[in-house]
Amino acid sequence: MVKKVQPRRFDNVVFAGGGNRCFWQAGFWSVAASALDLAPSRVAAVSAGSAIACALFGGTFDAGFADYKRAVAGNSRNVYLRNLLHAKPVFPHGPMYRKAILDSIDPTALARLHQGPDIRLLVSCPPPWASAHMAMLLGLVACGLMTWAKNAVHPLTGARVGFKPLYVPVRDCATPEALADLIIASSCVPPLTPQARRNGLPFLDGGLVSNVPIDGLAPSPGETLVLLTRRFAALPAVPGRTYVQPSRVIAVGAWDYTDDAALQSTFDLGRRDGEAFARTLRHRVV
């Protein structure tokens, strides 16, 4: 028979990176969090997963998502070559991303984040000997090598070429602008986004070190829920961790800022998967 059981408590949550695919996480969380009374104490996030986590725990996701979809609907291209002649950004991603973050994080939302779970965002630090241009080249090499390890949930490619992880607490950010800078640093992929710097040091996308930043929780006790953004052939079996992935391949492009319908369908898929996950966790066959 089917017996209703007490849902598992997740003390920690990980938001993986994945650009627009991270809207799947938002859809998943919007259903699963309320259905399972999820209230984590610690959160680790990277790249666009950082933006999603901050909007969710800041309580402003719905309005921010609506604004972002409108902006994407009004953007016709991902590359504007004509801007080379006018000293304007060729790629619209940087300005649109920053505006989307600031539309979601106002002083009230930032105050909620300071009072909520301990959220730590991952950025990648290039080797100290690497210039800014060398760091970008190493980043491209790491991205290329990571395509060969696409079935690994926790690849070590970035670390092997010299990148180091740095986890920065959201509570260190005193203003929405400072938090926007940190999220963009965690998502920094030049030339799509401007080169990020913090205290004079160049930073790149934290996903170069770990696109599933589980190490940001160490040595946190308790159960951990890991929200991925793409499908893997096999998920790690680690005591104390629950990995969840989309039920099918997400159609939206990570850096496609032109298709608002794909954003909505990604969010909707997350909601359906969140509903299925909640049902599974709340019931069992005995």
In whole numbers, what is the pLDDT of the chain averaged over residues?
89
> Which residue type does 222 have?
G
Q: What percent of the chain has pLDDT over 70?
A: 88
The reported pLDDT for the residue numbered 2 is 46
CA distances from 40 to 29, 118, 119, 130 (A): 12, 9, 10, 37
Angle between helices 93-104 and 176-186 (to 10 degrees): 130
Torsions phi, psi for 240 (to 5 deg): 90, 0
Q: How far apart are CA 270 and CA 264, in angstroms?
A: 10
Q: What is the pLDDT of residues 52-104, one digit of tens each?
A: 999 999 999 999 999 999 999 999 999 999 998 888 889 999 999 999 999 99
pLDDT at 119 over 70: yes
Q: How far apart are CA 53 and CA 200, in angstroms?
A: 26
pLDDT at 286 over 50: no
Residue 283 pairs in a beta bridge with: 4
Model pTM score: 0.92
The reported pLDDT for the residue numbered 285 is 40
In terms of phi and psi (left: phi > 0; alpha: psi -120 to 50; beta: otherwise), the region of 20 is alpha
283/249: higher pLDDT:
249
Region 20-33 average pLDDT = 98
Query: What is the token pair recorded at 268?
Result: 């909707």
